[in-house]
Amino acid sequence: QVRLVESGGALVQPGESLTLSCAASGIGLGGHAIAWFRQAPGKEREGISCISISDGVKYYGDSVKGRFTVSEDNAMNTVYLQMNDLKSEDTGIYYCAAQDAWRVEHPLKDYEYDQWGQGTQVTVSS
């Protein structure tokens, strides 16, 4: 059974950094695309980053480009999202999602993914 577990969410102040983790079990990361999405209250879910594990290609949404970095640790079967210079608009529930990489045509679209974690809350507030 595939399971994705996000962790690392917290309350932080604007300008601070935070690293989220997405630990996978039931699947090996190889051959998969792992994406991060977030959903703010009253807003649609937004794709913010994706990493294709087999070739290392990374994608970022415009709102986080230059501030967020996605990476993976195959030995730990975990994908990370390093978030720097956090802003209030980064507040939301952050989810990771997985899909066979060959199936993914639009890496930052949520309909591409069929395995999801439960989410972790990130709040950026002074």
What pLDDT, on the 0 to 100 scale, is given for residue 52?
95
For residue 42, the surrounding DSSP H or E stretch is none
What pLDDT, on the 0 to 100 scale, is given for residue 123?
98
Kindly give, in sequence order, each residue whose CB lies less than 8 Å from that of residue 62, ignoring residues fewer than 6 positions away.
none
What pLDDT, on the 0 to 100 scale, is given for residue 2?
83
Work out whether strand 68-73 and strand 58-60 pair parallel, antiparallel, or are unpaired. Answer: unpaired
Average pLDDT over the chain reads 96
- Contact status, residue 21 vs residue 117, Cβ threshold 8 Å: no
What pLDDT, on the 0 to 100 scale, is given for residue 112?
97
pLDDT tens readout for residues 28-75: 888 899 999 999 989 999 999 999 998 899 999 999 999 999 999 989
pLDDT tier, 27 (very low <50, low <70, confident <90, very high otherwise): confident
pLDDT tens readout for residues 77-125: 999 999 999 999 999 999 999 999 999 999 999 999 999 999 999 999 9
Tokens linked to 122: 């990130």
Alpha-helical (H) ranges within 20-123 are none
